[in-house]
Amino acid sequence: MLRCCVPLAVMAVTLTLSGCLHSRPSLPADGADATPFPILLRPDGSRVSAAEFRALVPSYNYILAAEEHTNRCHHQAQAALLAEARAAWRDAARGAAHADPSVADPVLALEMLPAEANDALAVLDADPRSRADLAHNAPWNSLWIESWGYPFDLYQSVFLAADAGATDAALPVRGLNLPRRVVQAVMRGGLEAVAQEDRHLLPTDMPPMPPEQLEALAPYKAVHAEFQTTKPDAFTPDAAFDRGNHFELVMRLWDNGMGLTAARLRAELERPVFLLAGWGHASPNWGIPRAIRHYDPAATVLTITPVPDNISETEARSGLLPEQALKAPTRTDIRDRLFLFCPPAPPRARLGFTLRPEADAEGIAVDAVTPDSTAARAGLRPGDHLLEADGTPVRTARDVHRAAVSALTRHDDLRLLVLRPEGGPVVLTLPLPRSSEGRSASGALSGTPGRP
Q: How far is CA 79 from CA 68, 208, 371, in A?
A: 14, 33, 35
| Burial of residue 285, with CB atoms counted within 10 A of its CB: 0-12 exposed, 13-18 middle, 19 or more buried | middle
Domains in the chain: how many in total? 2
195: how many CB neighbours lie within 10 A of its CB? 10
Q: 56 with 95, same domain?
A: yes
d(CA 112, CA 174): 10
**Which has the closest alpha carbon to 207: 157, 257, 244?**
257
Residue 223 lies in a domain: yes
Q: How far is CA 94 from CA 28, 87, 89, 98, 160, in A?
A: 20, 10, 9, 5, 24
Amino acid 164: pLDDT: 66
Q: 146 with 221, same domain?
A: yes
Beta bridge partners of 366: 355
Give 323-341 pLDDT, tens digit per residue.
Answer: 766 666 666 667 899 999 9
Q: 235 with 370, same domain?
A: no
pTM equals: 0.70
Residue 5 has pLDDT above 50, yes or no: no
Least confident of 276-280, 420-424, 442-446: 442-446
d(CA 355, CA 394): 11
Q: 225 with 274, same domain?
A: yes
Amino acid 341: pLDDT: 93
Residue 306 has pLDDT above 60, yes or no: yes
Q: Which residue has the higher pLDDT, 45 or 138?
A: 45
1 pLDDT band (50/70/90 cuts)?
very low
Residue 452 lies in a domain: no
Residue 441 lies in a domain: no
Q: 342 with 359, same domain?
A: no
Residue 232 lies in a domain: yes
52: how many CB neighbours lie within 10 A of its CB? 12
For residue 34, the enclosing domain spans 1-346
Give 147-204 pLDDT, tens digit per residue.
Answer: 776 777 788 888 888 876 445 678 899 999 999 899 888 888 889 999 999 999 999 8
Q: 200 with 313, same domain?
A: yes
Of 288, 320, 346, at which residue does a domain stop? 346
Q: 313 with 194, same domain?
A: yes
Residue 446 lies in a domain: no
Give 227-275 pLDDT, tens digit per residue.
Answer: 445 444 433 434 444 444 577 888 899 999 999 999 999 999 999 999 9
Beta bridge partners of 414: 430
| HSE of 102, CA atoms in CB hemisphere, 13 A | 11
Of 285, 311, 346, at which residue does a domain stop? 346
Residue 400 has pLDDT above 80, yes or no: yes
CATH for 373: 2.30.42.10
Q: 221 with 318, same domain?
A: yes
Give 341-396 pLDDT, tens digit per residue.
Answer: 987 654 445 678 888 766 777 778 888 888 888 889 999 999 899 999 988 888 87
Q: 235 with 367, same domain?
A: no
Q: 233 with 173, same domain?
A: yes
Q: 239 with 329, same domain?
A: yes
Amino acid 401: pLDDT: 78
Phi-psi region for residue 142, left (φ > 0), alpha (ψ -120 to 50) or beta? alpha
Residue 246 lies in a domain: yes
Of 291, 326, 346, at which residue does a domain stop? 346
CATH for 258: 3.40.50.11550
Q: 298 with 428, same domain?
A: no
Q: What are the two backbone dihedrals, phi and then psi, of residue 27, each rounded to the nearest 5 degrees? A: -135, 140
Give 55-90 pLDDT, tens digit per residue.
Answer: 999 999 999 999 988 788 999 999 999 999 999 999
Residue 439 lies in a domain: no
Amino acid 225: pLDDT: 56
d(CA 390, CA 348): 19
Share of the chain above pLDDT 90, in %: 33
Residue 10 lies in a domain: yes
97 pLDDT band (50/70/90 cuts)?
confident
27 pLDDT band (50/70/90 cuts)?
very low
∠340-85-305 over CA atoms, to 5°?
20
